[in-house]
Structure 1
Amino acid sequence: MTTIDHVLSTGAVRSVYQPIVDLRSGAVVAYEALARGPRGGDLERPDALFAAARAADRLADLDEACRAAAFRGAVRHGLFAPQALFVNVEPEVLDSAPLDDLLAIAQAAPGDLRVVLEITERALAARPAELLRTVARVRELGWRVALDDVGADPLSLAFMPLLQPDVVKLDLRLVQRRPGPAVAQIMNAVNAYAEATGALVLAEGIEDEKHLVMARALGARLGQGWLFGRPADGPAPALEAAEIALPATVPGDEAASSSPFALLPAGTELRRAPKSLLIEVSKQLEREAMRLGDTCVVASTFQEARHFTPATAVRYRDLVDRTGFVCALGEGLGDQPVPGLRGADLDPRDPVRGEWDVVVLSPHFSAALLARDLGDTGPDARRVFEYALTYRRDTVVAAARSFLSRVAPRAAAPVAAAVAERPAVPAPAPAPAPAAVGATTGEALLQQALAATTSGVTISDMTRPDQPLVYVNQAFERLSGFRAEEVLGRNCRFLQGEDTDRAAVAAVRDAIAEGREHRALLLNHRGPQREPWWNEVLLSPVRDASGRVVQYIGVQDDVTDRVLAQRALEQEQHRTRTYLEQLEDLAHHDPLTGLPNRRRVEERAEAALWDARLSGSAVALLFCDLDAFKAVNDELGHAAGDELLVAVARRLRSVVRRGDLVARLGGDEFLVVLPGLDPAGAAAHAERVAAELVRAAAEPLLVAGRRLSPAVTVGVAVGPADGEGFGRLLHRADQRMYAAKPAARRVEAGG
């Protein structure tokens, strides 16, 4: 079995080169150097190679060897200008990468090596200050910068304007999967950045013509993938070579040596305000950041730790949950004021110590409150600051870079040691063996059980910043879609997504804060493809001898089938209820006019009459008959008759009060019920309504191309004066309607 030490000591690391083409011309404009181990060995694949280096704490050595192999191979194969060479740097070694040594190799080459250094989004949140320093060093060397895997994590969109990459590499899933809202969001942000800066957009994973069409649609100028050529030991001789059109070089950035307030442009209008106003403006910017979501960066300074109050901590916990990256600086504040919040302990001499600043930056929004303390010694809320509220993107970006250049790096995750130091739980290795050397029989059995169970098991270290995972079993690797080395050291919130129920997440967070057991059902996302799955998780605290919670054990099961079956059942029940309600509605309403039918109006009228007997009020029934309706049917057809009935029904409803009822009894007969009338004036009121019904119905209208003025005859009965039951009152109103109907009344017709 080959060891990483042997690979490094023998110089067995090598590079293969994959072509990058101009999508308009098809010419090769660059090659990406990809690391490989010894041919045919168990460390040939890059994932195995880098996993072994991490396990042996030799990642920096491997990273250096990979870039040296890339440069030497490029020189050997003549990969010089006008083409470019893309090489990678690992996030964990950003601040110590020996780039100067590589520059010497490039300068000694017989041709001009045009280098583009690729930085993955994994570096963004972990080591922002080191990332900015590395980018500055790369610029000083005359090299260019590419941001890799954009779109795999929304955070890459938030950091894109801060890194100012020359090339934006779209994650392969953007061209290989069906477009959706997330793809549109990435496309908008990347194209806006490219338009503003001239950066090139490069689409990875182009394997067929469909992928090529999608890449072009996304705005990519460059492409990479098997459609153009697989990684090989040297250049692709069959493809034409051309020059890569990189944008103009980015000017040097002085933000790291300045405070955010000092970056305000000359001539900026400054105002003065008490701190109480600045706090409210800060809260408004925080609310805006939460609206922007996980593509947003938030950076703040609080001067001193005492200004970061418990109420502030609650707000910033919400910001951590709902935005991409949040940092807060202050003297004595520490590198993680609350879980997930990145920080830094400001030196009292740092100019930022004398400021109150809040910066919010996302792909399509930028704002910054930049304030300078004037040294007032009165009550804290009344202390006066000099400030500016700016939306200038270049100023906001510079201020954000100033903040991030001060953020402390996130601590690495010494996994095995972290678990072993906690006596409350036996310390399984990341990939449990059947029996660990030197382990007790109980520990060996425990490791075998954890490896064999179909439930995902995780252990989180609650004593360390951001409560990282320090153990996962094989079942969790299958559930999450990631290998252990990809998740250890990360908070398990990486499983969540925009569609994860925030209330469920908040309940988990509250339970952990209180140190109690909790069971939750969460919508999680599996693997790089972000496939949704439902996770039923039981979280159990582990305490040390003093009672302090030092770890949380999570037992997780994929219950997607159960949840989907339950939801399907609920949907079917909803459809059944809806169908029954529709049937009920049809049973009580006239399908043509939508009015209640005779059955429904009788029920409602009887209820109104019963209420009238109890309250001493009166109810009027108005029997309405549409005159000469048969003539309309005979002359214009039944469709025209239906159209006339609908129009008359609409006009009758327009006359009555909200609590009155209009119904269709059948044919050309309608009934209006007026409940809750004063008995003394009920008859007169009913006659006035009847007259209004006749007038409203008679308004001219076009039916089947004919101008008609419908005539309605109305008969009125009032209870209890004309009777107490619905049937008696309806009969009396019907009689009066016929008595009032002229023998020869017709619907007037004109041209």
Structure 2
Amino acid sequence: MSTVLSAATIHDVIAANSVHSVFQPIVDLTTGVVVAYEALARGPVGSLHRPDDLFAAARAAGVLAELDQACRAAAFRGAIEHSLVAPLTLFVNVEPEVLDTAPLSDLLALADGAPGDLRVVVEITERALAARPAELLRTVARIREIGWGVALDDVGADAMSLAFMPLLRPDVVKLDLRLVQERPGPAVAQIMNAVNAYAQSTGAWILAEGLEDEQHLMTARALGARLGQGWMFGRPASPPPPALAVGQLPLLDPVVTVAPQDTSPFAVLPTGTELRRSPKPLLIEVSKQLEREAMRLGDTCVVASTFQEARHFTPATRSRYLDLADRVGFVAAFGEDLPTVPVPGVRGATLAPEDPVRGEWDVVVLAPHFAVALLARDLGDQGPDTERMFEYALTYDRDTVIAAAHSLLSRVVPRTAEPVLRGDVVPAPPRRTVTPAPVHRGGLRGAEDLLERALSATTNGVTIADMSRPDHPLIYVNAAFEVLSGLRSEEVLGRNCRFLQGPDTDSSVVDSIRSAIAAGEEWRGVVLNHRGPGRTPWWNEIHLAPVLDGTGRVVQYIGVQNDVTDRVVAQRQVETERAKVREHVARIEQLAYTDPLTGLANRRRIEELVEAALWTARLGDTTVALLFCDLDGFKAVNDDLGHAAGDDLLVHVAGELRRSLRRGDLLARLGGDEFIVALTGLEVATAAETAVQVAATLVERLSRPVRLGSGEVSVGASIGVATYPRQGETFAGLLRAADHDMYRVKDTHRGAR
């Protein structure tokens, strides 16, 4: 077991400047020259030599910022001592927990005093993304002001890094070593797609870590990496091995697409942006559409929304944002008196009354391949809430969307508590080397009595598995584990812990555990296990940690386990209730969007669907046509045969229209005998001609005799046509144009008679 470190020890290390750096080369994979070195912190020989132990001790002693500064100062001193100056670049790290207080500018004097130009790239890990986005953005701005570059580290370890990549605009994207060392899968393809798209659009460098052999090198190149780092090119050392050839690493131009914190999203709209006016109900539907788009994009997407006041964050909104939090990478919500965590998984901040965002309605959706923002300003109407008017723009300009997202995320309150869990898997702390103690059946040979008593007394189950023996048998279990498993120690020692599993244990969770063990990594999560001879199911929260010997080889795994059945059952009950609420809300929305007689969409729903189709048309090379259909002679049917017969005729017409349209076309009843058809995905050059042909076909089919009761009736139809963007750019504009054209057709019919 590792020795507990005192606070005084880390204070002594910092005070004595005992932190030093070792340097690992970064190589241009095309030319083979060394273009940079990464500085890796090391402490004095002993218990604080490894960086994991250094930072753990500093965190416990409350001197994390001081150690972080000492590490960078050591990196600068070492780089100057070993002449790692221009054209070479020096990569240094910033600890995420002290982002907003890291004294970067204090090191400029040291950098300026170097015998040559010291070129610096600061590495930021994705651990900072969700916890402290505002501080992260401020730090990146400060780094750019100094003239240094930025590298986003461990990209691919979590989809969150892909979501934040457009906001941070890193010069270098460092791929997590697992991408080159493990078999490719869908997640690797997603990461490769997003990172390469970003690199091609910005000129950023892709760097692959963990290259140890030719297979790793081939995989790195296939992933698009132009830089490489790993034992294949050199291990960390001080001084670093002399490079045969060195080159320069060009960084991105310091283009600024972000907004200061006191700027609102609406204020970042470019001068001359066309603004529209709309009542609140339309903005609600547009916001819902953007939320659905974000759900489709998934965990590589960032969503930030404003609600003016907490009362506008209604129960229906809470339900939608719970779903967003489950499926989207990062979600933030802002409003006056809104909690910093409005619902589990959603981050945000309360807005001061004088904050300019307080008067806005903003929804920002940003992902590697998609960007859209609804930016609206309240016009201050004093009438009913549902009739309030807003001035707004819907923009797909990526720079504007990034600036709007930056403006909002710079207001996010830092997360100080433990994160809300998504499912049951929680992030593991950094792995550290532990000197293993010899173990034997039933106890720890040579361990102190105090440690033995502590393990026996703890209410958490503790196990140790021997990784050097076939099938990794258990070689130690404590009394609490005997209670959890329902078996005595002599019944489990010597066996693999898979005896806890059963046929209903989630195989994907088991595969996750095996993958972590195969990689020598920690694992945290919850798995369904079975207790005792009766095989009673229970939910086991497990933390598995590897134990390494002096050579870095995994020799044992320690497992700490806890029965969380009550928590899991309660959580599932909450999820069941949420599902019922969502189902109820969906049913209410269905009733609100459906014509009760024909089952077609009503005006409210067709407007939403057509607007969505128009957005798709704006992004692509197709267009939309709107057809306004009014029945001729319908009033006579009502007058002669009664309203019941008229209703039957309308149902027949709805069915005839459905059968006459393509699967992707849209259909709705506006009311009375008026129907709307939207033809989507039309070729621009032939859209008008196609729409007229469809209208003629519908007129012919609707004019056929219809049997109602014991007799037949015949009605006609007048159909007006309008196409986007020639006759209108919005649903309202197209509807007016089609309605006008319908009356022209109807007048023509009257004249012909």
Quick check: TM above 0.5? yes
Give the aligned partner of residue 213 of structure 2: 208
Secondary structure of 2:217's counterpart equals helix
Q: Give the Cα–Cα distance (whole angstroms) in 1 for the partners of residues 317 and 543 of structure 2.
A: 29
Q: Whose Rg is larger?
A: 1
> Please, which of 353, 359, 364 is the counterpart of residue 359 of structure 1?
364
| Structure 2 counterpart of 1:329 | 334
Q: Label 1:171 to 1:454 Cα distance change in 2 as closer, same or farther (>3 A).
A: farther
Deviations 1:695-742 (A, max 9, x none): xxxxxxxxxxxxxxxxxxxxxxxxxxxxxxxxxxxxxxxxxxxxxxxx
Q: Are 1:29 and 1:82, in contact at CA under 8 Å, matched by a contact in 2?
A: yes
Instruction: Give the conservation status (yes or no) of the 8 Å contact 1:255–1:263.
Output: no
Per the alignment, do residues 109 and 303 of structure 1 end up closer, same or farther by CA in structure 2, a change over 3 Å counting? same
C-alpha separation between the residues in 1 aligned to 2:390 and 2:544?
45
Specify the alignment match of 1:281 in structure 2.
Answer: 286
Quick check: 1:20 aligned with 2:32? no
Which structure 2 residues correspond to residues 225-264 of structure 1 after superposition, within 5 A?
A: 225-251=230-256, 253-264=258-269
Residue of structure 2 equivalent to 1:390: 395
Residue in structure 2 matched with residue 375 of structure 1 by the alignment: 380
Q: 1:315 aligns with which of 311, 320, 323?
A: 320
TM-score by length of 2: 0.58
C-alpha distance in 2 between matches for 1:149 and 1:119 = 9
Please state how far the C-alpha of 1:322 moved relative to its aligned partner.
0.8
Match of 1:234, SS?
Answer: coil
Could you tell me how far 1:442 is from its partner in structure 2? Answer: 10
Cα distance, 1:6 vs structure 2:
2.5
Residue 15 of structure 2 is aligned to residue 9 of structure 1: yes
Alignment counterpart, residue 152 of structure 1, candidates 148, 157, 168: 157
> What code does the residue aligned with 1:9 have?
A
Which one of the candidate residues 43, 47, 55 is aligned to 1:50?
55
TM-score w.r.t. the length of structure 1 is 0.58
Cα gap change, 1:337/1:115 in structure 2, threshold over 3 Å: closer, same or farther? same
What's the CA shift for 1:108? 1.6
- Give the Å deviation of 1:245: 2.0
Give the match's secondary structure for 1:256.
coil
Correspondence for 1:565: none
Three-state SS of the structure 1 residue aligned to 2:41 is strand
For the Cα contact (< 8 Å) 1:271–1:387, is it kept in 2?
A: yes
| Contact 1:481–1:526, Cα closer than 8 Å, also in 2 | no
For residues 340-392 of structure 1, what are the alpha-carbon distances to aligned partners after superposition, in whole Å with 9 as ceiling and x for unaligned? 21010111111100001111111111111111000011121211111111111
Percent identity of the aligned residues? 67
Alpha-carbon distance between aligned partners in 2 of 1:147 and 1:525, rounded to the nearest angstrom: 28
Query: C-alpha distance in 2, partners of 1:526/1:290?
Result: 34
State the distance in 1 between where 2:383 and 2:448 align.
Answer: 67
Q: Alpha carbon RMSD of aligned pairs, Å?
A: 3.8
Q: Which of residues 399, 412, 431 in structure 2 aligns to 1:407?
A: 412
| Matched-pair contact (CA < 8 Å) for 1:255–1:399 | no
User: Cα 1:395–1:495, aligned 2, differ >3 Å: closer, same or farther?
Assistant: farther
Q: Is 1:540 aligned to residue 546 of structure 2?
A: no
Count of aligned positions: 476
| Structure 1 contact 136–252 (Cα < 8 Å) conserved | no
Alignment CA distance shift 1:271-1:277 (3 Å): same
Cα displacement string for residues 572-602 of structure 1 (whole angstroms, at most 9, x for unaligned residues)? xxxxxxxxxxxxxxxxxxxxxxxxxxxxxxx
Corresponding residue number in structure 1 for 2:303: 298
Aligned 1:638-717 pairs, distance under 5 A:
none
Does the 8 Å contact 1:125/1:325 carry over to 2?
Answer: yes
Residue 445 in structure 1 maps to residue 451 in structure 2: no
Select 1:101's aligned residue among 103, 106, 124.
106
d(CA) in 2 for partners of 1:330, 1:67: 39
The match for 2:731 is none
Aligned counterparts of 1:20 and 1:519: Cα–Cα separation in 2: 49
Q: Deviations over 1:308-350 (max 9, x none)?
A: 1121111111111111000001111021111221010111111
- Which of 32, 37, 47 is residue 38 of structure 2 equivalent to? 32
Matches of 1:44 and 1:523 in 2, distance apart?
A: 29
Letter in 2 for 1:327: A
**Cα contact 1:138–1:145 (8 A) shared by 2:** yes
Alpha-carbon separation, structure 2, partners of 1:347 and 1:174: 44
Name the amino acid aligned to 1:317: L
Measured in 2, the distance between the counterparts of 1:454 and 1:390 equals: 58
Q: What is the alpha-carbon distance in structure 1 between the residues aligned to residue 34 and residue 462 of structure 2?
A: 50
Contact persistence 1:519–1:536 (CA under 8 A)? no
1:38 is displaced (CA, Å) by 1.0
SS of residue in 2 equivalent to 1:357? strand
- Please tell me the residue identity of whatever aligns with 1:113: L
Gaps (5+ residues) in structure 1?
415-432, 458-476, 505-517, 528-534, 543-547, 553-751
- Give a deviation string over 1:541-593, Cα, whole Å, max 9, x none: 59xxxxx99xx9xxxxxxxxxxxxxxxxxxxxxxxxxxxxxxxxxxxxxxxxx
CA distance in 2, matches of 1:335, 1:436: 43
Tell whether 2:208 aligns with 1:198.
no
Structure 2 Cα separation of the partners of residues 231 and 112 of structure 1: 23
